[in-house]
Amino acid sequence: MNKPKILVARAIFPETLARLQQHFDVQANQADESWPAARLIEKLQGKVGALTTGGDRIDGAVLAACPALRICANMAVGYNNFDVEAMTARGVLATNAPDVLTETTADFGFALLMAAARRMSEGEHFLRAGKWNTWRYDMFAGVDVHGTTLGILGMGRIGQGIAKRGAHGFGMKVIYHNRSRLDAALESECKARYVSKEELLRGADHLVLVLPYSAASHHAIGAGELALMKPTATLINIARGGIVDDAALAQALREKRIAAAGLDVFEGEPRVHPDLLTVPNVVLTPHIASATMPTRLAMANLAADNLIGFLTQNKPLTPLNPAVLTIK
């Protein structure tokens, strides 16, 4: 019997590929070419499934051009590269990769917070440039993390992981804002207090963004919001580019209207706003918050399990539009 045809749009772990090959006729991209939309459409011809990553846009035009497609399994928890409404309308299942990256990503958010607060990148650049030849009382003096107020915008699983690290590990007072308030048990586990967005901006010594990107969260942090923050505050974005107005942030950093920032995601990445590259008080990383080998393998395997579960038994593990499962 012919196996169903699927596409793996980017290079993945050989063991994950081997698992997929047991069930499917797989076209892989182990050379890891980055395909523009037209090429992706070409590669998707005749495929019933695709393992995608955050850079692969699946929208109405792609779906219309790929009528055989029945599932796209994203190897990411975020799925703003999917037009889920268009996928549902066409009966195409969307899945993401939640949970397996929560703690790893929360670790990274905290690392970025600490690096920004304690000016670690600035210090390292200074040292590497051979400029370290003396001691000075205020050399790279930053702001404290322990005992300060941690603000979290977007209190999903990763936000909660960061809250717990801050509250239990660093004695921080945690405040958060979210579309919906957590139930009392979760709030007490995270030692977190729900506040308005304005109170969050005004009160946080360190503000971590962990909300999903959508039209509603576009530029949730712009010049107006930055103006409400403390001049000693840090801003950390491990969510998505576009949630922060990067030009406004670069200006606020340059004018020291906030102390520092740590950014793992950028508007229009992998391009980075040129002004961010020239301000010293920002730590920049290339969208690697979930990047440990065990976690990336777990994400790849979850995406693969979604393809296998859906295409062999109509039982995906983490569907985003489960209504598709009942459409015959």
Give the residues lining the site for ligand GLV (CB under 6 A). Answer: 54, 76-78, 101, 290
The residue sitting closest to ligand GLV, measured at its beta carbon, is 78
Q: For the stretch 26-39, what's the b/e string if a residue is b when 16 or more beta carbons lie within 10 angstroms of its beta carbon?
A: bbbbeeeeebeeee
DSSP structural state of residue 10:
S
Q: Is the dihedral of CA 147, 152, 156, 162 positive or negative?
A: negative
> According to the 3-state scheme, what is the secondary structure of 67-122?
CCCCEEEECCCCCCCECHHHHHHCCCEEECCCCCCHHHHHHHHHHHHHHHHCCHHH
CB of 221 to ligand GLV, least distance (A): 17
What pairing do the DSSP bridges indicate for beta strands 149-153 and 93-95? unpaired
Residue 76 or 279 with smaller CB distance to ligand GLV: 76
3-state secondary structure of 229: coil
Distance CA 18, CA 263 (A): 35
Distance CA 147, CA 138 (A): 21
CB of 106 to ligand GLV, least distance (A): 13
CB of 110 to ligand GLV, least distance (A): 16
Residue 237 or 290 with smaller CB distance to ligand GLV: 290
Residue 95 or 290 with smaller CB distance to ligand GLV: 290
CB of 284 to ligand GLV, least distance (A): 16
Mind telling me the catalytic residues? 240, 269, 287
Residue 178 or 290 with smaller CB distance to ligand GLV: 290
